[in-house]
Amino acid sequence: MANAGMNLFDVAGKTALITGGGSGLGQFMAKALAEAGVRVYLVGRREDRLSASLGDHDGAIFALDLVERGATDHLFDMILAMDKQPDIIVNAAGINPRRHADDISESDWHYSVDLNLNVPFLVSQKFVPYMKQNGWGRIINIASLQSTRAFENGISYGAAKGGILQLTRAMAEAWSRYGITANALAPGFFPTELTAPLFADQAAAQRLAEATAIGRNGALEDMRGPLLFLASDASGYVTGQSIAVDGGFTAK
């Protein structure tokens, strides 16, 4: 019985939809789920990145721009044609235009808020009826340090990531009684395409590392445990919450 508790983290046989699955955190989380026996559906704009990310894993790729009008309906129709629907949704697609509040254009504002905030809701809402039927579902949103504090040139990104925390609570309020939990992972600084401009400046990256309690920036592997916790039965009575995976950045 020593390992009995480990079954709580068993996600084998589930199906997961991961937006932003072609790179960075989304790619890593797709890999971590696939390695745990989950079929993975990856969404992003770049087909080559999605294919490389899927590799030999069981699943499918859907190359589309989630911000385009009708994209989430189109995605839903394509996934409906698959023999398995998602039990787990990881809303990892995101973008940061990095524009000062004085200069950000209306189109950059809308694109960023659409992708970072509206799309996670619209994608999740589509698959809730299936999850309700099963009495089981996991929605995992990706928050940020900018969900609770402002960083330079983050006006639209921060506004959307602040909204993600409340969206997560509201999803939990709406759907948890059907066995569907909604939670967020809030990463600190991880080296990905999104943060490439920050990590290009070694001194700045070192300052960020020193701002954590642990003393280093994130490594993709740091996401695996929190992800499997939120994706599995282990977190069955946890909903509407955000888990900071930030090395203690927000604790210090």
Least distance to ligand NAP, CB of residue 24, Å? 2
172: helix, strand or coil: helix
Residue 237 falls in the annotated catalytic set: no
Q: Taking CB under 6 A as the rule, does residue 24 contact ligand NAP?
A: yes
Q: Taking CB under 6 A as the rule, does residue 163 contact ligand NAP?
A: no
Cα(84)–Cα(101) distance, rounded to whole angstroms? 43
Q: Taking CB under 6 A as the rule, does residue 72 contact ligand NAP?
A: no
Q: Taking CB under 6 A as the rule, does residue 247 contact ligand NAP?
A: no
53 in Cβ contact with 27 (< 8 Å): yes
In one-letter notation, the amino acid at residue 76 is F
Longest CA pairwise span in the chain (Å): 60
Q: Taking CB under 6 A as the rule, does residue 195 contact ligand NAP?
A: yes
Of these residues, 111, 157, 178, 237, which one is catalytic? 157
Least distance to ligand NAP, CB of residue 61, Å? 10
Q: Taking CB under 6 A as the rule, does residue 142 contact ligand NAP?
A: yes
Cα(26)–Cα(5) distance, rounded to whole angstroms? 27
Q: Taking CB under 6 A as the rule, does residue 193 contact ligand NAP?
A: yes
Contacts of residue 43, defined as CB under 8 A and 6 or more positions apart, other chains included, come to 17, 18, 19, 20, 21, 50, 61, 62, 63, 64, 66, 75, 93
- Residue of 41, 121, 127, 190 interacting with ligand NAP (CB under 6 A): 190
Q: Which residue lies nearer to ligand NAP by CB, 64 or 136? A: 64
| Residue-level length of the chain | 252
Q: Which residue has the tokens 């925390």?
A: 165
Q: Taking CB under 6 A as the rule, does residue 120 contact ligand NAP?
A: no
Q: Which residues bind ligand NAP (CB under 6 A)?
A: 19-20, 22-26, 43-46, 49, 65-67, 92-95, 115, 142, 144, 187, 189-190, 192-195
